[in-house]
Amino acid sequence: MSIVAGPIVARRELLIGATSLIALAAAGRAFADGGVPPLGLDEVKTLQAKVRGAVIPRQSEFYEPWRQAMIWQTQKFPRHPDLIVQAESVEDVVAAVNHARAHGRRITTRAGGHSFCGCFMRDDGLLVDVSRLQTIEIDAARGEAIVGPGVIGRRLNEELAAHGLAFPSAHCGMVPISGFLLGGGLGWNGNAWGGMSTYNILEVEIVTADGQVRTASETENPDLFWAVRGGGPGLFGVVTRFRLRCHPRPKNIRSHTFIFAFTDFALAAAAMEEIGPKLPKTVELIGVITAAPPGLDKACAVPGCDQVFILQSVAFVDSEAEALALMKPMAEHPIAKKAIATTLNQAETFETLYYANEVPFPQRRYAVDNIYADRLDKAIEVIVRAMPHAPSRVTAPVLLYKGRPALGDGACTTTGNFYVSCYAQWDDPAADKANKDWLIAMYEELQPFAVGNYINELNQEGRIHRIRECYTPEAWAKLGALRRTWDPGRIFHTFYGLEPTLPTLAKG
Ligand SMILES: Cc1cc2nc3c(=O)[nH]c(=O)nc-3n(C[C@H](O)[C@H](O)[C@H](O)COP(=O)(O)OP(=O)(O)OC[C@H]3O[C@@H](n4cnc5c(N)ncnc54)[C@H](O)[C@@H]3O)c2cc1C
């Protein structure tokens, strides 16, 4: 099956008011002496004439609300592309890429804007928003779907349900498949469904730096396809469609949940090391430290401690009996007796799982980081020491059992027995520095116990020096070499934070 271009939709108006035109002309003069070509009205008009979607230059009065709306969280990173282009079709993406190359501007791509460090939001160049590319075509007989980059996991799984299929989307339903899959993708039932969700990509339609629409798969442009499966924010192309392998939908999803006082976190987390290896791949084991739910906030023995550790196993199988049998290592572990609240054999759906994961991760200000670790003992010690000093009580570390899944052939190469992440979250802008510094300190303490890191949730703002640890040395070198081949003019922004090492952008 080959991916074909999407439909053309209605033309948009040029989003520049009269006052903005004057500002735009002035800005063109002001930037004329700089290294980046000035953005003039002619350039904006030229691009808008070729693009069906909206083109919003920095000088437009619509620009700032539009820019802020690109970012999912409430922290609106102070970085400003020259132009935002909202693509309505693959042709719009081609026009944007050709324009960037012709005018010596760089490009980043944005689908859902969920990147916790806002890596798609860069100074200068074009921000190409592909969120409106939302096709879903399901081929039930083949167990495949062709999906646009703007489709969120919730909608994909809702539509697949009608065909008895499912896909390992992100744990929160509103995360689009695009950035999630390109960076690797820790999805629901991921250990059973590909190890990392990216290994369910069978083919993509991708616009490369030369403005060509290409297909990349194991047999067509295989090196480009290798980069697609894990290159993440370092990818040098815009993916406009994915062809995905889907899976028979489990007829029964069941969970056991234990809630522990934070004072028992170390014991309960240590129990994950015993429980995890006894579970089959179809049972996911995940733990989160979070603010105690109402009624449990006095559970800790330590004054001022009102957090809990929620440990959950989720079985993706076909019958209740099978789920209960497979989750026995969790239900029968002695740690269960220490739980302050227990829910056994809960019937779940993708929707209940999404909802339960969206509640602790609402739209706030975020800084997020992670390591992969083969053992938890040292990591637990660091988290126990750090959490009482967390500036925000809603900050949530997560432990996910991965069991070192065998990965396919792609840029996504790092894994470990456990994924150890932390979602620092807060509301007050004045608390940005305290929360970010705390997270960096904790992760620099955790890093010696790491066997790798995961690019999609790495603190690319605060720990630039760890970006390459998201890849094996061989994969890092291969990704760099492929970037030089596929994007010799460097029109695509590379990993956030690593840009200064690139040569000056050449126009052409
Ligand atoms: C609430 C929440 C829950 C999350 N849960 C999970 C989870 O369960 N598992 C997990 O693995 N991750 C999770 N994440 C992290 C998520 O995988 C990343 O934030 C991912 O980047 C989100 O995808 P996006 O399409 O919104 O990317 P964006 O933020 O829009 O873009 C990020 C980067 O991806 C690249 N990119 C995106 N689309 C394209 C494209 N079409 N072509 C080329 N490059 C592109 C660009 O380089 C861009 O800079 C979560 C994030 C949030 C906010």
Using the mean position of ligand 1's atoms as its centre, give its distance from the Cα of residue 112 in Å.
Answer: 7
Mean pLDDT over all residues of the chain?
91
What architecture does CATH give domain 136-248?
Answer: 2-Layer Sandwich (3.30)
* Per-residue confidence (pLDDT) for residue 303, from 0 to 100: 67
Distances (CA, A) of 333 to 257, 268, 299, 309, 466: 13, 10, 21, 16, 36
Amino acid at 213: V
Report the pLDDT averaged over residues 444-449: 97
Report the pLDDT averaged over residues 62-77: 97
Using the mean position of ligand 1's atoms as its centre, give its distance from the Cα of residue 283 in Å.
Answer: 24
What architecture does CATH give domain 18-129?
Answer: 2-Layer Sandwich (3.30)
Using the mean position of ligand 1's atoms as its centre, give its distance from the Cα of residue 456 in Å.
Answer: 6
- Taking alpha carbons only, the member of 437, 171, 114 closest to residue 288 is 171
pLDDT per residue as tens digits for the range 106-134 = 999 999 999 999 999 999 899 999 999 99
DSSP code of 95?
H
**Whether pLDDT at 160 is above 70:** yes
Q: H/E/C letters for each residue in 110-149?
A: ECCCCCCCCCCCCCCCEEEECCCCCCEEEECCCCEEEECC
Nearest ligand 1 atom to the CA of 233 is: 47
Nearest ligand 1 atom to the CA of 240 is: 41
Report the pLDDT averaged over residues 64-90: 97
CA angle 464, 183, 504 (to 5 degrees): 50
Q: H/E/C letters for each residue in 11-22?
A: CCCCCCCHHHHH
Using the mean position of ligand 1's atoms as its centre, give its distance from the Cα of residue 142 in Å.
Answer: 27
Query: Left (φ > 0), alpha (ψ -120 to 50) or beta: where does 143 sit?
Result: left
Query: How far apart are the C-alpha atoms of 167 and 202, rounded to whole Å?
Result: 13
Of 243-247, 474-478, 495-499, minimum mean pLDDT range: 495-499
Of 223-227, 259-263, 310-314, 421-425, minimum mean pLDDT range: 259-263
DSSP code of 496?
T
Percent of the chain with pLDDT over 70: 90
Pocket test for ligand 1, best of 72, 120, 131 (most atoms within 8 A of CB): 120
Helix (H) or strand (E) holding 382: helix 377-386
Using the mean position of ligand 1's atoms as its centre, give its distance from the Cα of residue 115 in Å.
Answer: 5
Pocket of ligand 1 (CB under 6 A): 72, 108-116, 119-120, 130, 149, 170-172, 175-176, 178-180, 182-183, 185-186, 233, 235, 238-239, 361, 456-457
**Whether pLDDT at 229 is above 90:** yes
Band of pLDDT at residue 102, cut at 50, 70 and 90: very high
Ranges of each domain in the chain? 18-129, 136-248, 252-469
Please, which contacts does 16-19 make with residues 24 or more away whose CB atoms are closer than 8 Å?
16/41, 16/44, 16/57, 16/59, 16/60, 17/60, 17/61, 19/61
Other Cβ atoms less than 10 A from the Cβ of 153: the count is 26
Query: Between 20 and 449, where is the model more confident?
Result: 449
- Taking alpha carbons only, the member of 410, 409, 438 closest to residue 422 is 438
* Per-residue confidence (pLDDT) for residue 300, from 0 to 100: 73
Place of tokens 């030229």: 46
**Whether pLDDT at 33 is above 60:** no
In sequence order, which residues have a C-beta less than 8 Å from that of residue 219 and are 6 or more positions away?
Answer: none
What architecture does CATH give domain 252-469?
Answer: 3-Layer(aba) Sandwich (3.40)
Are the C-beta atoms of residues 193 and 455 closer than 8 Å to each other? no
Amino acid at 43: E
DSSP states of 154-214 as a string? HHHHHHHHTTTEE----SSTTSBHHHHHHH----TTTTTTTSSGGGGEEEEEEE-TTS-EE
Using the mean position of ligand 1's atoms as its centre, give its distance from the Cα of residue 179 in Å.
Answer: 3
- Tell me the pTM: 0.92
What sign has the CA pseudo-torsion 66, 67, 70, 71?
A: negative
Query: How far apart are the C-alpha atoms of 506 and 508, rounded to whole Å?
Result: 6
